Chain A
Amino acid sequence: AQTVTQSQPEMSVQEAETVTLSCTYDTSESDYYLFWYKQPPSRQMILVIRQEAYKQQNATENRFSVNFQKAAKSFSLKISDSQLGDAAMYFCAYRSPLSTQGGSEKLVFGKGTKLTVNP
């Protein structure tokens, strides 16, 4: 079974600076999807960025980018020019492709990293 590990329960960053959140995962599959979700105090999980394992190019969405290291099974999230609105719990998630036997569409989540942004 796949597992996702976020080793940083809490992180803090100064406004306008850059922060990197770590995520590692364990899988025997060669094709899969990785996601970062943000959950502010309002509770709604918001998709931040996604990465397909077959793509070597790291995904980027505005101030958010990932460093995907497939061999190391690492998927870190970099937030540039941090803003107060970035404060939230961040969850890393893994999903098997549907084509995989037993591919189930379920997301496997890490425990989350609480990000605080200091003014």
Chain B
Amino acid sequence: EAGVTQSPTHLIKTRGQQATLRCSPISGHTSVYWYQQALGLGLQFLLWYDEGEERNRGNFPPRFSGRQFPNYSSELNVNALELEDSALYLCASSLLPGQPQHFGDGTRLSIL
């Protein structure tokens, strides 16, 4: 069974640009979660999607947004990139809300 897949592995952008990160959940999983792992800040919850709807978001500005497609894959969009957005962005999926979350390898976003 394929795990959670994320692309790209590494993304390099400059300040002010926009970034799009992609995530494909484990087959059959309907919930997708996004976390930011920034140096010194640990893992912080960003967004939760289930059945195509945004169910909850963490304490991040509106320039962090995303969506979930009918096939349950998801995109995370970050607009007006700032230096502090440099981090590892992890996507996770679960079979249903309430089930354990399984993570992908992450996308390393570097802002120059």
Contact = CB atoms under 8 A, between A and B. Distances in A.
Given A104-B48, A109-B42, 13 more contacts: A35-B100, A44-B104, A45-B90, A47-B101, A47-B102, A91-B43, A105-B98, A106-B48, A106-B56, A107-B33, A107-B43, A107-B45, A111-B42
Interface string B23-67: 000000001010100000011110010100001101000000000
Interface in A42-62: 42-47, 50
Interface of chain B: mostly helix, strand, loop or mixed: strand
A37 B92 CA distance: 12
B31 A105 contact: yes
A98 B105 contact: no
Contact of B56 (A47, A104, A109): A104
Interface of A: 35, 37, 42-47, 50, 91, 97-98, 104-112
A112 B44 CA distance: 12
Nearest to A99: B98
Contacts, number: 54
B101 A107 contact: yes
Interface residues of B, number: 26
B76 interface: no
Interface of B: 3, 31, 33, 35, 42-45, 48, 50, 55-56, 58, 88, 90, 92, 94, 97-98, 100-106
A44 B97 CA distance: 21
A42 B88 CA distance: 12
A104 to B, nearest CB: 4
